[in-house]
């Protein structure tokens, strides 16, 4: 297969029209785009999502969800939708233009709203992601981050989102096409990645290029990847280090501002279509492509080669060919990587492999990472970003009923950690936060969520800066606690401690006299009495306070922190 490298249509208007339209758009109702929507919009506008002309209409959305096709029959596996709040959608009329702004308020595009509907999110989860299970990051996003209403309609692109990082390595589809044209690269195999490249990846990409007799495009995602991944700044520094080890004449790297959904098979087809738009003729699909990991029952969402199967089914129509790979492993005797299924003399050789989980463990414990596994330059970058856990920041998040003992244990823990020294410790106790950060808030679900998200924000900043945050709010809602966990886990460990004193005991103790008032109806929405509390299903630690004194409870937390490698045992 050879690529036709003619330019593909973008949704941008000319510079002059854009200047004029920007002035006119200042009067339009504006939607402030979320980070994910900015990624989607960028690829819509620059042709990465061609032939889409805007956010999907309701009919196209239904087709995409049901059978991966828009109403005109175009193969498109991923719903690209503009989710908004009910309040925003309410006032809109059909055919109305709205301005789409980035997070600083810059107008990037206008959209003519042709469709405005409330999607069936449970169905979308089942059909697109395979299960309505919030352990899937995109399903979690769908239910807990995305707005309730979807808007659809064509886009008029005014300007690209502004990026200040790695500008020289970002290319639009047409820029890459022009580059390939200029170099005479008519066959290009793309490698999609959201992880640092190690030796196995290098071997895999070498083999793919050889097999497809093509040039190689390393095409890492720098938009949004799976929560908890290595941040893209670190990754790009790693890629740059590895790029030196490829022949410059046949390999290049470009950064893709895609917001991944981790949708396995559908995602693989989507990735292929995007790479075809970027001028590639071949696309590498390895084991468990864009897999989100385990579902809430502990099993993988997709089979390891489901993505390859779905890609194969559609590749003819997609205009891009798959280069499929089985899992690559290291054969010690031959000192090289080989596909696991091609090793014939398995009994006579030693097969080595380090999983992603094992790599993270070694990094977090400061253990050796062998040279057969990765390049010293890559390991050095990773160690800079991820020092051993005993040197990283972390958050201890207590949750439990009022009067359960959270604050008392949190205070004791703070003193013990300060006695050990080494890292600054901040206590974000429920009452302290309500006084200093959230004084205007009450106890409705909305206000409680806001309160906890503020605590989460501060805790994540402390964690990022290598400090220890101890939080002790009630935090009654599991979804909000999970959101805070995600905020914090970008930077360090999140240790949830359920102080499991039951409501009867808390009421019996009634240290602040609040339960009495709640029973009398004088305090409304009181947790455990007239308001819900989701018991944590899988906290890192559950402490019982009946029969254990405060010192003992705090010590249990210390032991947990030691076992997690967050404080060194001595």
| Catalytically active residues, by annotation | 193-195
Asked if residue 399 lies in contact with residue 410, where contact means CB atoms within 8 angstroms, the answer is no
523 versus 558: smaller Cβ distance to ligand PPS: 523
Does the annotation list 157 as a binding residue?
Answer: no
261 versus 485: smaller Cβ distance to ligand PPS: 485
**Residue 516: Cβ within 10 Å count:** 12
SS3 113: strand
- 188-193 and 282-285 as β-strands: parallel, antiparallel, unpaired? parallel
Asked if residue 459 lies in contact with residue 360, where contact means CB atoms within 8 angstroms, the answer is no
Does the annotation list 401 as a binding residue?
Answer: yes
Distances 471 to 299, 346, 412 between C-alpha atoms, Å: 32, 52, 13
252 versus 407: smaller Cβ distance to ligand PPS: 407
Stretch that binds ligand PPS, among 151-159, 312-320, 448-456, 535-543 (CB under 6 A): 448-456
Nearest Cα to 562, choosing from 407, 389, 412?
389
Quick one: 509 exposed, middle or buried, by C-beta within 10 A (0-12, 13-18, 19+)?
Answer: middle
Least gap, CB of 451 to ligand PPS (angstroms): 4
- Residue 475 engages ligand PPS in binding (rule: CB under 6 A): yes
Stretch that binds ligand PPS, among 70-78, 281-289, 494-502, 520-528 (CB under 6 A): 520-528
Asked if residue 475 lies in contact with residue 468, where contact means CB atoms within 8 angstroms, the answer is no
Residue nearest to ligand PPS (CB): 430
The number of CA neighbours under 13 Å toward the Cβ of 262 is 24
Instruction: Say how far apart CA 296 and CA 287 lie, in whole Å.
Output: 21
For the chain, the maximum distance between any two Cα atoms, rounded to a whole number of angstroms, is 81
Residue in 199, 275, 448, 498 binding ligand PPS, rule: CB under 6 A: 448
- Residue 431 engages ligand PPS in binding (rule: CB under 6 A): yes
Least gap, CB of 470 to ligand PPS (angstroms): 13
Does the annotation list 403 as a binding residue?
Answer: yes
- Residue 483 engages ligand PPS in binding (rule: CB under 6 A): no
Least gap, CB of 511 to ligand PPS (angstroms): 8
Residue in 109, 212, 253, 474 binding ligand PPS, rule: CB under 6 A: 474
Least gap, CB of 84 to ligand PPS (angstroms): 27
| Sign of the Cα pseudo-torsion (542, 544, 548, 553, in order) | positive
Stretch that binds ligand PPS, among 234-242, 351-359, 376-384, 426-434 (CB under 6 A): 426-434
409 versus 417: smaller Cβ distance to ligand PPS: 409
Fill in the DSSP letter of residue 379: H
- Residue 443 engages ligand PPS in binding (rule: CB under 6 A): yes
The number of CA neighbours under 13 Å toward the Cβ of 288 is 13
Nearest Cα to 389, choosing from 165, 121, 568, 171?
568
Task: Please provide residue 527's backbone torsions phi and psi, each rounded to the nearest 5 degrees.
Answer: -55, 130
Least gap, CB of 147 to ligand PPS (angstroms): 23
355 versus 439: smaller Cβ distance to ligand PPS: 439
Contacts with 340 (C-beta within 8 Å, 6 or more apart), sequence order: 326, 327, 328, 329, 351
Task: Please provide residue 75's backbone torsions phi and psi, each rounded to the nearest 5 degrees.
Answer: -70, 120
What is the residue-wise DSSP string for 331-364?
A: ETTTTEEEEGGG-S-GGGS-EE---HHHHHHHHH
Quick one: 570 exposed, middle or buried, by C-beta within 10 A (0-12, 13-18, 19+)?
Answer: exposed
Residue in 512, 522, 551, 559 binding ligand PPS, rule: CB under 6 A: 512
Does the annotation list 406 as a binding residue?
Answer: yes
Residue in 407, 408, 460, 545 binding ligand PPS, rule: CB under 6 A: 407
456 versus 476: smaller Cβ distance to ligand PPS: 476
Distances 347 to 332, 333, 343, 344, 351 between C-alpha atoms, Å: 13, 12, 10, 8, 10
Residues in binding contact with ligand PPS, number by CB under 6 A: 21
- Residue 434 engages ligand PPS in binding (rule: CB under 6 A): yes
Site map for ligand PPS, 383-402, x if CB under 6 A?
-------------------x
**Rounded (10°) angle between helices 137-144 and 478-489:** 120
Does the annotation list 180 as a binding residue?
Answer: no
Residue in 452, 471, 500, 543 binding ligand PPS, rule: CB under 6 A: 452
Site map for ligand PPS, 521-550, x if CB under 6 A?
--x-xxx---x-------------------
11 versus 410: smaller Cβ distance to ligand PPS: 410
- Residue 514 engages ligand PPS in binding (rule: CB under 6 A): yes
Least gap, CB of 441 to ligand PPS (angstroms): 7
169 versus 411: smaller Cβ distance to ligand PPS: 411
Stretch that binds ligand PPS, among 186-194, 262-270, 443-451, 558-566 (CB under 6 A): 443-451
Does the annotation list 407 as a binding residue?
Answer: yes
SS3 380: helix
Binding region for ATP: 400-407
User: What is the binding site for ligand PPS (CB under 6 A)?
Assistant: 402-403, 407, 430-431, 434, 443, 448, 451-452, 473-476, 512, 514, 523, 525-527, 531
Binding region: 400-407
């Amino acid at each position: 297969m050879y690529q036709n490298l003619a330019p593909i249509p973008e949704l941008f208007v000319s510079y002059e029209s854009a200047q004029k339209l920007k002035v006119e758009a200042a009067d339009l109702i504006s939607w402030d785009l979320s980070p994910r929507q900015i990624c989607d919009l960028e690829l819509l506008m620059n042709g990465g999502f061609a032939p889409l002309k805007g956010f999907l209409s309701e009919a196209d959305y239904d087709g995409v969800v049901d059978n991966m096709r828009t109403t005109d029959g175009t193969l498109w596996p991923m719903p690209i939708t503009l989710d908004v709040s009910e309040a925003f959608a309410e006032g809109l009329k059909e055919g109305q233009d709205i301005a789409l702004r980035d997070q600083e308020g810059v107008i990037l595009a206008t959209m003519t709203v042709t469709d405005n509907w409330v999607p069936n999110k449970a169905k979308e989860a089942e059909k697109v992601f395979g299960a309505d299970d919030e352990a899937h990051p995109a399903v979690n996003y769908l239910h807990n981050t995305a707005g309730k209403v979807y808007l659809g309609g064509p886009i008029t692109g005014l300007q690209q989102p502004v990026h200040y990082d790695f500008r020289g390595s970002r290319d639009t589809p047409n820029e890459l096409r022009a580059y390939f044209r200029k170099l005479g690269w008519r066959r290009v195999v793309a490698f999609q990645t959201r992880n640092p490249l190690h030796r196995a990846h290098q071997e895999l990409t070498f083999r793919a290029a050889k097999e497809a007799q093509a040039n190689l495009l390393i095409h890492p995602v720098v938009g949004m990847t799976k929560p908890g991944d290595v941040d893209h700044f670190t990754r790009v520094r790693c890629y740059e280090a590895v790029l030196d080890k490829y022949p410059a004449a046949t390999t290049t790297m470009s950064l893709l501002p895609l917001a991944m959904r981790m949708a396995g098979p559908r995602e693989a087809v989507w990735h292929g279509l995007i790479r075809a738009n970027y001028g590639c003729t071949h696309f590498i699909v390895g084991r468990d492509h864009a897999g989100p990991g385990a579902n809430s029952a502990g099993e993988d969402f997709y089979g390891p080669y489901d993505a390859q199967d779905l890609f194969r089914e559609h590749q003819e129509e997609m205009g891009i060919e798959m280069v499929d790979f089985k899992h690559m492993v290291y054969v010690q005797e031959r000192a090289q990587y080989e596909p696991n299924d091609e090793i014939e003399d398995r009994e006579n050789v030693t097969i080595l492999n380090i999983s992603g989980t094992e790599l993270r463990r070694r990094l977090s414990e400061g253990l050796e990472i062998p040279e057969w596994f990765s390049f010293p330059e890559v390991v050095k970058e990773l160690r800079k970003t991820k020092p051993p856990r005993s040197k990283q920041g972390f958050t201890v998040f207590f949750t439990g009923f009022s009067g359960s003992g959270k604050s008392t244990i949190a205070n004791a823990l703070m003193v013990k950690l300060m006695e050990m020294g080494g890292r600054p410790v901040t206590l974000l106790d429920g009452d302290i936060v309500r006084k200093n950060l959230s004084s205007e808030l009450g106890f409705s679900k909305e206000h409680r969520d806001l309160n906890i998200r503020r605590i989460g924000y501060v805790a994540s900043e402390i964690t990022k800066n290598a400090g220890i945050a101890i939080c002790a709010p009630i935090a009654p809602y599991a979804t909000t606690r999970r959101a805070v966990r995600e905020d914090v886990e970008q930077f360090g460990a999140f240790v949830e401690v359920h102080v499991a004193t039951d409501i009867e005991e808390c009421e019996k103790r009634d240290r602040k006299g609040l339960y009495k008032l709640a029973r009398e109806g004088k305090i409304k929405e009181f947790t455990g009495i007239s308001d819900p509390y989701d018991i944590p299903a899988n906290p890192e630690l559950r402490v019982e306070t009946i029969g254990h004194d405060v010192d003992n409870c705090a010590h249990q937390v210390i032991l947990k922190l030691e076992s997690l490698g967050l404080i060194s045992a001595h």
